[in-house]
Structure 1
């Protein structure tokens, strides 16, 4: 945050939609995800005046990934349209931060091929 007297620049993140009981577009496991909007804004007397750098993300709960959505698709979802998100709509980094076992929900390292708690093969 950059703040000078009565005006400043800040970043903000808002949850705009939660989708439950769906197949995750990242790991293809039954779960839920949230659509999140992130942007920077200029404010005077803590009232937002100008926004820029608007970006949309999908945050999955089954595989703990955060992937970027296209601008147009994010705006459609924010407007209230019901859209199914597919793998083609998202941009993810190649390495996941953490893996979650689909059978026992244990958190594992990204390099593990099998869950150390129940032995289930981690295919994603």
Structure 2
């Protein structure tokens, strides 16, 4: 938050809706992705004047990975419309899926060279 006299700047996150039955590109599970809108604004005595830098973020409820949604799709969703996300419509911002061992399927740390359970090379 930035405040100078009676003017200032801040950012805010508000819910925009949900995308139902979308496949998460990170974990592959089909789930309802929750979408929020993050934007920055300039205020005068804490009354918002100008909004800028708007980004729509989608979160997978299964793996908690975060994606950026196309702004046109996000605006349509925020105004109450139903949307279908095309295959390349989500850009990965944060992948929270842990890698798994190909031999036993156990979750591993990202920098591991060998499986902690079975010892197989990753």
- The unaligned stretches of length 5 or more in structure 1 are 100-109, 120-124
What is the rounded CA distance, in whole Å, between the counterparts of 1:19 and 1:55 in structure 2?
Answer: 16
8 Å Cα contact 1:24/1:62 also seen in 2: no
Tell me how far 1:5 sits from its aligned partner: 2.6
- 2:114 is aligned with 1:115: no
**CA root-mean-square deviation:** 2.1
Residues in 1 aligned to 2:7 and 2:72: alpha-carbon distance in whole angstroms: 30
Question: Is 1:76 equivalent to 2:64 in the alignment?
Answer: no
Q: TM-score, normalised by structure 1?
A: 0.72
Q: Which runs of 5+ in 2 are unaligned?
A: 108-116, 118-122
Contact 1:25 1:87 in 2 (8 A): no
CA distance, structure 1, for counterparts of residue 81 and residue 38 of structure 2: 19
| 2:88 partner SS | helix
Bigger radius of gyration, 1 or 2? 2
